[in-house]
Structure 1
């Protein structure tokens, strides 16, 4: 999906603010400017984008610098991320904060390393790189719940995206991830009731970020 007109306006604004602040920070009255610009309780904390270490390691000829953000410019990153998550239906898969982190990282790379362009084409590339970084950080999970399934003789019974599996099948899937003590506790739990648990309900959770 292409960058929207709002995305283009917001990225242009972020760049113009970064340029304005950079010029003021190099002026003779930078102390007064700094105090006026960052006049909130936390000052300038969180208002810079630092060089990402891995990409710069492969481009040692590039001068490392920070990108300074105004409060308003920083908020634009959150607006861009919120629109992107909504338009890509990622609400349950990634948080705005996590995507902002990757958009900022991609923004730095786009500007200083890739010498990327602006406008809809350039910012679409930037956002696509952010999405790629975010997807790399996503992990898939599975949950297993003990289940009484009397009369079920099959190893697996699919019910939509979930399935009923035998206890043997469950252990074959996750046994290597459990310690001997954990396996012992699980086995005792399944056998402790009047009717032992011989099946589990397996619920796979699609790839998502750590905080979502």
Structure 2
């Protein structure tokens, strides 16, 4: 049986390992996928990523396959329905924030042509490859996530503090924080 050395955070179970191996740190340029991660990361604020990952399919179903055009149109009846959905995190502020984020997402697309062009502009459209020796070197925020967080808030986004934004940057490959001995890190060896 093949064994792979991975970032230590993902060794909890197969769900985490699969996410690490197939998604985390892979560059995402598709607006639909970027919105999905934005929704999931904002719901993760104050909770563990594992909690959100386990509920990911429930979130997908509850939020119309993460269709931001539909989410932007949600009314009070839909908010109340989501508040009754036991499959997701039933936080009223986060649910309403997701609707606000969908509206802001559409406005960013209008201004920049795509959300991808906007957000990737903060890293000059290239992933930042960090050369980390251990998990203890991974930061919760950076100067770039601080700037991006501030800009997102200015544009009306909710639940986008610097820590959430940096987690989004890691998840969508804007930043590669795989540690040196991780099999995924070796694909872009220094």
Would the TM-score normalized by the shorter structure come out above 0.5?
A: no
Q: Which has the higher contact order (CA 8 A, sep 6+)?
A: 2
TM-score (norm 1): 0.21
Which protein has the larger Cα radius of gyration, Structure 1 or Structure 2?
1
Bigger strand fraction? 1
Higher percent of residues as helix? 2
